[in-house]
Amino acid sequence: MKKVLVLIAVLSSFAFAKGAFIYNVKTDLLDEKSKAVVGEIYEGTPVEVVKKDGDLTLIKVKGEQVDGNATALAYKSAPLITFLNITSGEAKSGAKYFVKSSDLSQREYPSWEEVELVYYDTCTSCHAGHHPAEHAMNEWDAYLSAMQYFAKINDAEKARILRFLQAHAKDGIAKEEE
Ligand code: HEC
Q: Return the residue whose CA atom lies nearest to atom 22 of ligand 1.
A: 143
Report phi then psi at 138, rounded to 5: -70, -25
Residue 26 has pLDDT above 90, yes or no: no
Quote the radius of gyration of the chain (alpha carbons, Å). Answer: 17
- What angle, rounded to 10 degrees, do the helices at 137-151 and 108-123 form? 40
Q: How far is the CA of 127 from the centre of ligand 1 (A)?
A: 7
Do 62 and 50 form a contact (C-beta atoms < 8 A)?
no
Question: Residue 29: beta bridge partners?
Answer: 39
Q: Is the CB of 144 under 6 A from ligand 1?
A: yes
Q: Is the CB of 169 under 6 A from ligand 1?
A: no
Residue 118 has pLDDT above 90, yes or no: yes
The per-residue pLDDT for range 45-94, each reduced to its tens digit, is 999 999 999 999 999 999 988 888 899 998 876 666 778 889 988 999 99
pLDDT at 56 (0 to 100): 97
Region 3-19: mean pLDDT is 58
Angle at 100 between CA 67 and CA 117, to 5 degrees: 70
The per-residue pLDDT for range 128-175, each reduced to its tens digit, is 999 999 999 989 989 999 999 999 999 999 999 999 999 999 988 888
- Please tell me the distance from the alpha carbon of residue 129 to that of residue 119, in angstroms, as a whole number: 9
- Please tell me the distance from the alpha carbon of residue 4 to that of residue 172, in angstroms, as a whole number: 31
Query: DSSP of 113-140, one letter per residue?
Result: HHHHHHHHHHHSSSSPPPPGGGS-HHHH
| Helix (H/G/I), strand (E/B), else coil: 65 | strand
pLDDT at 15 (0 to 100): 46
Pocket test for ligand 1, best of 117, 126, 163, 170 (most atoms within 8 A of CB): 126
Q: How far is the CA of 109 from the centre of ligand 1 (A)?
A: 25
Phi-psi region of 24 (alpha: psi -120 to 50; beta: other; left: phi over 0): beta
- Please tell me the distance from the alpha carbon of residue 92 to that of residue 108, in angstroms, as a whole number: 23
pLDDT at 7 (0 to 100): 55
Q: Is the CB of 151 under 6 A from ligand 1?
A: yes
Residue type, 78: A
pLDDT at 79 (0 to 100): 63
